[in-house]
A and B are shown apart, each in its own frame.
Chain A
Amino acid sequence: MATMSDYTGLKPAWCPGCGNFGILRALNKALVEMEIEPHQVLLVSGIGQAGKLPHYTRGNVFNSLHGRPIPPAIGAKIANRELIVIAISGDGDAYGEGGNHFLHAARRNHDITYLVHDNQVYGLTKGQASPTSDVGYVTKTTPEGAASPVNPIALAIIGGASFVGRSFAAETVHLTNLIKKGIAHRGFSLIDILQPCVSFNHKNTFQWYGERAYKLEDEKGYDPGDKKAALEKALEWGDRIPIGTVYEADLPVYEDQLAALSKTPLVKQKIDSRRVERLLAEFA
């Protein structure tokens, strides 16, 4: 059985105190608690500080291009359904450069888990506004203030994702449990993670999020299966920020609908060129 030491990767090159450390710890804990071995996992990341995470744990790693962790994650999942596929992005990666992939992965409901480290700022390129920066947020590229942010939680719910959650990097136990739920869920799971950037975002700090985040699990009568209620929670931002499972539904999974995947994973199927004979006959 895997232990935390099996998930010890390279030494992180993140800034001291970065919110990413909590996410790394939570992911490793989730995998250990689910009794998953590193070789059973495929971590597909993009570019940005979040994109480096797979190198700091252990597993199969495909560190992809900026904005593009989702498409190779989908390709790999279809090639080998037995892999546990987790895509990892930051807010720029997921909602800016990769916005189209995010929308369509949600719509098709691919069986992958998507962790988005959302710090509302670009870290790797040093402090420019991101798609989730709060309105009016001033940076070098937005001297007159950022425009209205995207709402990833609402987009995912409307877009057709079957599991949509949010957690906070400082709430390791909460985040661990949410990641476990996301991995266990069949279909597209978005987990947007409030991740303070200690170097470039001096507004949305640990304290700022800590004062606002409240757990949906503690809300009496909140039902993540109620899409309307979920959308209402999705629109909540500012003084109070809900964390937890916002939406969860049992929806058709893309990979389940592919006849070719119904038995053996594609990667384990033998190639038999002679079978093409019958296709040739169709052209005669």
Chain B
Amino acid sequence: MSVDFNFMIGGEAGQGVQSVGFLLAKVFARGGYHIFADQDYESRVRGGHNFFRVRVSKDKVNAIADKVDVLIALDSDSIELHRAEIARGGFAVFDEGKAKRVKSEDGSLLSMPLEKLAEDKAGSKLMTNTVALGAALAGVKYDLNILNTVLVDWLGKGDAADKNIAAAKAGYDHFRSEQKDDFREIKPFAETRRMLLNGNEALSLGAIAAGCKFMAAYPMTPASSIMEYMAAKSREFNLVMVHAEDEIAAINMSIGAAYAGVRAMTATSGSGLCLMVEGMGLAAITETPIVIIDGQRPGPAVGLPTRTEQGDLQFVLHAHHGDFPRVVLAPSTVEDAFWTAVKAFNLADKYQLPVIILTDQHLASSYCTVDELDLSQVTVERGEIFPENNSENNYDPAKYMRHKVTKSGISPRAFPGLSKALVVTDCDEHDEAGHLTEDAGERTAQVEKRLRKMVPLKKEMGKPQKYGPRGAGTTLIGWGSTYGAIREAVDILGKDDIRVNVLHLNELWPFPAEAVSDAITKAESSYVIESNATGQLARLIKAETGHGVTGRILKFDGRPLTPAYIVEAVKKEVG
């Protein structure tokens, strides 16, 4: 029997919404299920309304669902705001003290003494969230032992794990003794140890696997957890993460480290990236490899700090003045985020330019089960390095020129201090040797040399992903983190006999003009699907292929695109 089941945990910041959500995801992943879980939170440390959704499915899922089967409400707002979303046969658990506004004798709203149980059985009200978790698991008759194992793995053996185990048992037992058995049962069906990763974790792991040795950044939602992860692993993996004084320092430190020969990156979000724009041009003119992660959130300015958007595409394509090559990648799933990071470092090194990874709050903080990351597939391509790997056969350090004009546009890199070659570069226009120049010929030669790198670079770019029936009349075109939602929408529409397919881009610049042009001309109608207000991809497509799309399906309220939203919008357009 197929299982596609959704939990929602709602509450104030500080009530442990995230812990319960993460544990639920982990517990079902251990029972063989695929998970997709997302987080919706406000920009505050205490209070407000936050929720965490956990989708449990037998099949791989990469999007959230709009319906709720089990609501764990840690405060009364969560009941009121989400009770309408509870599907038939679903239920909500909440503390009896929080249920003052629940008047109806609705059989699906289950009031329980969660706080009292937490105090009596686990010694503290702080355990209320775990009691609720136990109750929810009882509601679907899931094996509580799996939770116990996960708790011990998470907290280690000891008092904290014991108290949580006791709290969960209290909730579980209470539910089983008080409630009728008319809710759906979900059984663990396989013992799996799939990884449960969020987008930022996947990017961080990819960066470490790629050999990133230096990161400098300034905390900014939703990118901060990348800094924190890299810092946490700095001892074990001999890397350095500097918490810089601002984003300007962060990117410039990373550029300095990259110039000195290590793989380096930074991570930020919109306004932080605005400050980094100056540095992006420095990397470009000094031809220093740098990976910049932009965790997009709604702008302009501070916008909606904890929410999601794909509003930075046109910004990162054009950020900084002057003409220079760059790369823009946008991972489509958590797993893809890992491989995107690996590729970003390779492209940065081989072509000596800034590589921007466009992720967003939704992908950054959404957890997904990932089957396997085959590390033997990770390649580290550092590009042409003087003197070991130097196509120009210029082995005399005295003759080394950092910005030598070559046919490919790629000038072999040397690293300062590692040989007698002097590595000279300048943010002014420079000659081949790296010294500043105002000579018209040198200027032209350097600009052309840098832009020439686009030719081999284009050949490195992957093709857009295709999904759905070939020859469908309608093609949906998306990019980045919306892949899962659009793909699922295609499936749902297919069941309603609306034949649509999808062309999805996770590598945006250099732009795959041929593939996109081909898809648009073959379809009767085409729609971009984007989390922004103006259809930034549609503008890019028009600019690069000359083709306009039929329409734009957009969402820019700061909440992620869902399959249901896309289905409804497509039906309006083509149904």
- Point out residues on A near B: beta carbons under 8 Å: 10, 37-40, 42, 44, 47, 52, 54-55, 58-65, 68, 70-80, 82-83, 100-101, 103-104, 258-261, 266-269, 271, 273-277, 279-280, 283-284
Contacts and interface: CB of A to CB of B under 8 A. Distances in A.
B212 to A, nearest CB: 9
B375 A277 contact: yes
A64 B252 contact: yes
B213 A275 contact: no
A260 to B, nearest CB: 4
A263 B210 CA distance: 21
B322 interface: no
A75 B253 contact: yes
Given A60-B423, A64-B282, A283 B196 contact: yes
A65 B249 CA distance: 11
A283 B436 contact: no
23 contacts: A39-B417, A60-B424, A61-B423, A62-B286, A64-B256, A65-B252, A71-B249, A71-B253, A75-B256, A75-B264, A78-B214, A83-B260, A83-B416, A260-B239, A266-B238, A266-B257, A269-B213, A274-B375, A276-B209, A277-B375, A280-B195, A283-B201, A284-B193
B53 to A, nearest CB: 20
Contact of B417 (A10, A40, A277): A40
A221 B239 CA distance: 45
Interface stretch (B3-11, B43-51, B229-237): B229-237
A267 B422 contact: no
Which residue of A68, A72, A271, A275 has the most chain B CB atoms within 10 A of its CB atom? A72
B434 A61 contact: yes
B81 interface: no
The 3 closest A-B pairs by CB, nearest first: A75-B256, A72-B256, A271-B211
B209 to A, nearest CB: 4
Contacts, number: 196
Given A39-B416, A61-B422, A79-B213, 17 more contacts: A39-B397, A39-B422, A60-B417, A63-B426, A65-B279, A68-B252, A71-B252, A72-B256, A75-B264, A77-B260, A80-B261, A100-B249, A260-B213, A260-B239, A269-B238, A271-B380, A273-B210
A122 B332 CA distance: 49
Nearest to A263: B238
A153 to B, nearest CB: 21
A72 B286 CA distance: 12
Given A75-B255, A283-B195, A58 B422 contact: yes
B201 A61 contact: no
Contacts of A82: 417
B425 interface: yes
Nearest to A37: B420
Contacts of A260: 213, 234-235, 237-240
B375 A42 contact: no
Given A260-B235, A266-B240, A273 B380 contact: yes
A62 B213 contact: no
Which residue of B194, B252, B424, B435 has the most chain A CB atoms within 10 A of its CB atom? B252
Given A274-B375, A276-B375, A63 B252 contact: no
B216 interface: yes
B424 A79 contact: no
A60 B264 CA distance: 19
B557 interface: no
B324 interface: no
Contacts of A283: 195-197, 201
B422 A71 contact: no
A76 B416 contact: yes
A60 B233 CA distance: 31
Contact of B435 (A42, A55, A275, A276): A55
Nearest to B430: A63
A284 B261 contact: no
B358 interface: no
Contacts of A42: 260, 416-417
A56 B246 CA distance: 31
A120 B278 CA distance: 26
Nearest to B29: A284
B419 A39 contact: yes
Nearest to B254: A75
B424 A71 contact: no
A155 to B, nearest CB: 14
Contacts of B251: 71
A74 to B, nearest CB: 5
B209 A63 contact: no
A64 B260 contact: no
A55 B397 CA distance: 18
Interface in B185-221: 193-197, 201, 205, 208-211, 213-214, 216
B428 interface: yes
Interface in B256-284: 256-264, 278-279, 282
A79 B196 contact: no
Contacts of B208: 276, 279
Contacts of A280: 195, 205, 373, 375
B248 interface: yes
A64 B375 contact: no
B234 A259 contact: yes
A65 B278 contact: yes
B26 to A, nearest CB: 10
Contact of B262 (A70, A266, A273): A266
A63 B428 contact: yes
Contact of A276 (B205, B255, B259): B205
A141 B252 CA distance: 29
Contacts of A76: 256-257, 259-260, 416
B257 to A, nearest CB: 4
A101 B249 CA distance: 7
B245 interface: yes
A54 B435 CA distance: 9
A167 to B, nearest CB: 26
Contacts of A65: 252, 278-279, 282, 427
A75 B282 contact: no
Contacts of A284: 193-196
B118 to A, nearest CB: 29
B302 interface: no
A103 B245 contact: yes
A284 B189 CA distance: 17
A38 to B, nearest CB: 6
Contacts of A47: 427
Contacts of A52: 436
A268 B194 CA distance: 35
A267 B264 CA distance: 11
B373 A78 contact: no
B259 A267 contact: no
